Structure 1
């Protein structure tokens, strides 16, 4: 490694090892770190910090931190710090098994929050003082501006608010990222806010670089390491059936005149079903599409490269090793078609509503009336978090939630009488899709929604149980607007915990 990526002389003089930089972070403080879905997170300092924490614990000294990020990171950050007991509080999203286990064991406090609200919570002072910003960048310009990495997340906010800054300059990130970002500095606190001047997903309304007072930068650490590179399994038959139902529904909306032939900006979650939907759009002849989303994953990158999606706005890349190679090889093309923004913009309610996004997100379970649980098993154990699904579900043109109708080899029904945890209320859910079919819940009363969900989304093994529950609730429920038998509404989950199956 050389200093060529650190073109600011004073900052080049602040280069130091990860161990030296980690020593600048004091116990009990709050650290805002980069990272969003395994992209652009600091690779070296968190691991050095974990070693410092382990040594402090060995001396009998308490050492734990409040860790704030953009979203999930990787084992080198969340896993390393959780394993040594170095995290006392975490937000806003996570996916690391070690961290999740400790959260669910009650050892770490975890705040699940809409990703679009994190930055303003920090600016409002709701999250307390930000002591340190630990941010990965691709380079430092001669004037001190920073070339962002493969995710932007909340980096702008952490850099603005932190008392001190530690930068990791990652030589593995392609310098072709320069110019792909759009960092908007026009946000303000109430009552001084003004409309955000973005009317198309490809609009550039900010600057290509992050800014920070060079005097706040206390350390620059050079690294050469890849992002966490995961592979998604190819879409299976269940995913393809879900995608088929959703694509046919979109065609119906075009025939009804509610959508144009090029749809509206797409937002999709991460995973096999999202990839299947995107590839189904391509195979179905859709073109001239746009995306206003959080994460660009393999399926979307493929469509961008082929020109099916003309413009995509996001806050991060989440790519397999093969797609990283494609991205680096054709980075000049992707730089023209991709805009990476802070997540306070990529997930901003004002923009999601103005653009009219079509939101497609996964879920754990839905109930008869359209309430959705995206985050918890049996109501008590967190999986990952709500992420940005709520930002798009409440504010988009169309809110779609997708899932296989069963899990655990059929032992769990994804359609239940009452969800065990509510992330998205019935008021924010327009469409539910499983491999069994699609329930369009728009314009329906609760009882009408229940009949659609049972008929079109429930697995045949569970459809009679659901129908029986609903018919008895119609007769026995004290109120008939949203009928329930309260003594049975969560009995399906308890039955699973007791017997290993929701079946009677």
Structure 2
């Protein structure tokens, strides 16, 4: 015990001392989500002008990184993210954030094989150590362990307000694997879905809850619609549900507290709600602290489609921006403008498809209102030029709008067009039919919508 405490003190540094190890040209892997390393980011920003071409990588930073504020010309730092938060999206609009395309679950693989850039320095947020010298990655297990294992230098930013989250694999690191430690104390930044819940959201949620059976295993993506669905499930009479999800969000508390989720029917991680990162309210973070109902895993384990499929009745619920008449799903960009990221949407869609009794869903309101008040259909003839296909048509699941559900799997192009037009807003159906005819995916067999 004394040796561990002595080792801790010997590795303790101020943030400014710790970031002196960063050299020009380095790849720096920073903490993710609510565990973004705020003190080390601020200290690194004070080295602007001293270093050049330092590439900083994270996932979904929950505040504007200081390195971006102090270096608008990106002479010292280039900021990269594997999934854009609202902050990063605005930075990208100014040319100050670069997106890294990949399925979230692939991230550790790309780090291990060297294609993602060798982690010269890992700056990772953690909890206080336990009595055995282990630190916990708290609400962002993600690929933190992989980054630390391969990094030349490991710096931990200890936040004594971070919850200790029990895990299945990859959730801790021992002090013997650490080079430097900095200490801090600040509340984790809370995450709340963007926008107000609409009548369309409520209708979609109602349609989805009808599809969930007792004993189903649930995954929800990021956003207000999945949160609405989770809240509705919590108020239902469903029972013996499980959770195998990329994200743990605030509504999970209600699902467990109201007895909807107990994990009793899961085939793996029985009685555990599993995830790789958490984002929500302070109440969620407090609830996660040493709560045996939860287990966190590294993202390449949690998001592996084959592992997802091991649980029966896996239900995957995710959002989209646009869906075209072929069933191509764009969930992360508006044309060439990156909005969010691929995340685990494709992984969980595939996993739910392969699960016995599984059901993957992609949800979106039938219309959106752009600047100037112009209403546009989100079911479109073809995706906007430059829009990223997050889920290819070969894996297209059931699409849900407030006007109904369209199960696209195994359907022909003309049948998909018919079904999608049937759940589009009525004001746009005629022009969608004309587009389908012009594209050769409307036949004499089609119904008149």
Normalized against structure 2, the TM-score is what?
0.86
The Cα offsets for residues 358-413 of structure 1, whole Å up to 9 and x where unpaired, read as: 21111110011211001111x21111111111111223233211111111255222
Q: Which residue in the other structure is 2:167 paired with?
A: 181
Distance 2:364 2:137 in 1: 34
Closer, same or farther: CA 323–19 of 1 in aligned 2, 3 Å: same
Alignment of 1:384 onto 2:337:
no
1:288 and 1:309 in contact (8 A); partners too: yes
Distance 2:275 2:319 in 1: 18
Closer, same or farther: CA 124–436 of 1 in aligned 2, 3 Å: same
1:287 and 1:309 in contact (8 A); partners too: yes
Q: Which residue in the other structure is 1:300 paired with?
A: 252
Shift of 1:234: 6.3
Q: Which residue in the other structure is 1:243 paired with?
A: 205
Alignment of 1:223 onto 2:184:
yes
Closer, same or farther: CA 83–223 of 1 in aligned 2, 3 Å: farther
1:26-37 alignment runs, 5 A limit: 26-35=23-32
Shift of 1:230: 2.9
Distance 1:109 1:41 in 2: 17
Shift of 1:88: 2.6
Q: Which residue in the other structure is 1:471 paired with?
A: 437
1:66-105 alignment runs, 5 A limit: 66-76=55-65, 80=69, 83=72, 85=74, 86-88=76-78, 90-97=80-87, 99-104=88-93
The Cα offsets for residues 42-83 of structure 1, whole Å up to 9 and x where unpaired, read as: 121101111222xx1xxxx65232223344443246755775
Alignment of 1:366 onto 2:323:
yes
Q: Which residue in the other structure is 2:229 paired with?
A: 277
Q: Which residue in the other structure is 1:41 paired with?
A: 36
Q: Which moved more, 1:381-390 or 1:224-233?
A: 224-233
Count, aligned residues: 420
RMSD: 2.7
1:328-347 alignment runs, 5 A limit: 331=289, 335-347=291-303
Distance 1:81 1:149 in 2: 29
Unaligned runs of 5+ in 2: 263-271, 354-358, 444-449
1:87 and 1:108 in contact (8 A); partners too: no
Q: Which residue in the other structure is 2:214 paired with?
A: 261
2:345 and 2:390 in contact (8 A); partners too: no
Alignment of 1:150 onto 2:150:
no
Distance 2:64 2:131 in 1: 33
Unaligned runs of 5+ in 1: 185-207, 252-259, 481-504
Q: Which residue in the other structure is 1:209 paired with?
A: 172
Distance 2:73 2:22 in 1: 16
1:297 and 1:317 in contact (8 A); partners too: yes
Report the secondary structure of 2:410's partner residue. coil
The Cα offsets for residues 6-28 of structure 1, whole Å up to 9 and x where unpaired, read as: 95321222222212222221222
Closer, same or farther: CA 7–39 of 1 in aligned 2, 3 Å: farther
